[in-house]
Chain A
Amino acid sequence: MGQTIVEKIVSTHAGKCVHAGDLTVVDVDFLMASDTTAPLAINAFKNMGGQRIFDPTKMALVIDHASPAPNQRIASLHDLMREFANEQGIKLYDVGDGICHQLMIENRHARPGQLVLGADSHTCTYGAIGTFSTGVGSTDLAGAMLTGRTWLKVPETILIKINGSLPKGVSAKDLVLHVVGIIGIQGATYDAIEYTGTTMEDLSLDSRMTIASMSIEMGAKAGFIHTKGLSLPYEFEHVLPDSDATYKQIIDIDASTVTSQVAVPHSPDNVVSIENLNEIIIHQAFIGSCTNGRLEDLHAAAEILKDKRVHPNVRLIIAPASRKVFLDALQDGTVETLTKAGATFLPSGCGPCVGTHLGIPGNNEVIVSSTNRNFLGRMGNRNSDIYLGSPAFVAAAALRGKITNPQKLLEGVCGS
């Protein structure tokens, strides 16, 4: 009986052949926690009687959600993490290094075919390189820190086939928002998703990460992009399903028909085509997050904002996904282009995405954002509206001060 990707990876980590529906204990290859989840995980680990973690080379802690510390309380939590990392010999990424998920792939902590747990829901991002990675809570992570294992139910898989070329100005974010709109916020609960097709084969690593990261916005346990066409800076074995694997559902999408997509308040599955949206006045624009804070995303914004100036009533805030992303964008002139256009760069980290600090919206403000969630209050103020879209969508709105179709702007650029 053929296996899906998740069935294959779980089988190798369980030491026996498993299929969807089976409950099993698995070995883990790597663990991660952030400053939102690590303090609780450390406490739980100690309360379990934990003294040494099962393998200190298989864990990283990341200070990214409230980084640098906005107040004394959080500074103490960061200290607790530094102390624990030091005492256990665990790798710690400190202020400004970047967003946890970006660092996990950049620094090769997650690799194709591995099984990784992260105490953060967007841990599913590493499915971009064929890792079975899933988000858990702090206590589950503590259990894995203690035992090197966890238990899970093997999920069923939804296969999404995407073929054709994306139109100009339409990005991986538009594609994944389109998928979230079809499947819905709980349409993939308890399931894994696999993405395949010619469109996927041509996608960059940055784009693949954008798509995999939003698997959780459909409730999925994991989201894999077939690794065909993927290049990584090291040798790896491709992660593909058997040709006779069993799928719960198969969805076909023609990429050439996808337009700029926007998730309107207050749920990431409230997805509409930008053509059906009015030109709503906006106040703040944010480009960043584990979903869209990479070099490719900054390039897409720079393409729209080059030699132009952000609308005077708009604050454009950018948080690169990592120090490496920032440095690359600095070296190739993207930071200069965007700064001249009026953008404000934040340290690499989560900040505005999760409403901790560095850009809380005011009352009755409208925000356009390249992040992954627009739940009520997500950015720190329940009296604000968040519209999610691609980096090009955010840049276009920042430029004109209102929601604008980036495809039209780009056509204008080409035509002039």
Chain B
Amino acid sequence: MKIIGKAHVYGDNIDTDRIIPGKYTKTLDMQSLAEHVLEDLDPEFSKKVQQGDIVVAGENFGCGSSREQAPLALKTAGVSLIIAKSFARIFFRNAINIGLPIIEVKDYNIQLEDTVEVDLITGKVEVNGNTYFGTKMPDVMVDILNENGLVNYLSKHKQYNL
């Protein structure tokens, strides 16, 4: 499974309030989430993001709340993958559970607008002729992601297979 996209680059500790402010989270309309995604961090993001783009961040991406609206807002806005040096625990699980690919890459040099190519199976990340490798996820997470999220996984398997 290969993902190729253009990078939007942000820093460390991007919390869930900056991904989608609490005041917008009480809704089942995913499009309305996408309209406000990253609004307090980068007010222009929702206008400039293109289908397939990649969000690249530093340490501890998605810290704070357990709101699944955070990865949902990014996914609905068209983001195809998130690369970060590390992720907050709940955000990581949520992203996989809703079928948003996410990869932890401890060290990288990626600039705004760079084209990044990622092989989700091998964890290989290629950008500007450089190659990096992402941290391997537990098998159960790979299985959930392969089913495009936990809803499909549990519809099919009815239980967790470790």
Contact = CB atoms under 8 A, between A and B. Distances in A.
Interface of A: 23-25, 35-37, 39-40, 43-44, 47-49, 65-66, 73-74, 77, 119-121, 123, 135-140, 142-143, 146-147, 149-151, 153, 185-186, 189-190, 216, 219, 221, 267, 354-356, 360, 373, 375-378, 380, 382
Interface string B54-74: 000001100111111100100
B60 A73 contact: no
Interface of B: 13, 15, 17-18, 21-23, 25-28, 40-41, 59-60, 63-69, 72, 86, 88-90, 93-94, 97-98, 138, 140, 149-151, 154-155, 158-160, 162
Contact of A23 (B67, B138, B149, B158): B138
Contact of A186 (B72, B86, B162): B86
A137 B160 contact: no
Contacts of A151: 140, 160, 162
A354 B25 CA distance: 10
Contacts of A221: 89
A373 B17 contact: yes
A355 B98 contact: no
B67 A36 contact: yes
B150 A143 contact: yes
Contacts of A77: 26-28
A137 B25 CA distance: 13
Given A65-B22, A119-B66, A356-B22, 7 more contacts: A43-B28, A44-B151, A47-B155, A137-B68, A186-B86, A190-B89, A355-B23
B160 A49 contact: no
A216 B69 CA distance: 18
A275 B26 CA distance: 39
A189 B60 contact: yes
B151 A377 contact: no
A185 B66 contact: no
B157 to A, nearest CB: 10
A153 B138 contact: yes
Contact of B151 (A48, A73, A356, A373): A48
Contacts of A267: 13, 15
Given A66-B26, A140-B93, A143-B154, A186 B40 contact: no
Given A36-B26, A139-B97, A189-B60, A23 B140 contact: yes
Contacts of A35: 26
B93 A185 contact: no
Contacts of B72: 40
A44 B150 contact: yes
5 contacts: A36-B67, A49-B154, A137-B90, A142-B150, A150-B160
Contacts of A49: 154-155
Residue of A147, A376, A377 ringed by the most chain B CB atoms within 10 A: A377
A36 B26 CA distance: 5
A184 to B, nearest CB: 9
Contacts of A382: 21, 40
A280 B105 CA distance: 41
A43 B151 CA distance: 10
B90 A139 contact: no
Nearest to B88: A219
B63 A219 contact: yes
A185 B62 CA distance: 11
A140 B94 contact: yes
Given A39-B28, A121-B64, A147-B159, A186 B88 contact: yes
A89 B22 CA distance: 29
Nearest to B159: A147
A136 B150 CA distance: 13
A135 B66 contact: yes
Contacts of A73: 26-27
Given A135-B90, A375-B15, A378-B17, A74 B26 contact: yes
Contacts of B21: 355, 377, 380, 382
Contact of B64 (A136, A356, A375): A375
Contacts of A147: 154, 158-160
Contacts of A40: 28, 68-69, 72
A373 B64 contact: yes
B12 to A, nearest CB: 9
B68 A139 contact: yes
Contacts of B65: 120-121
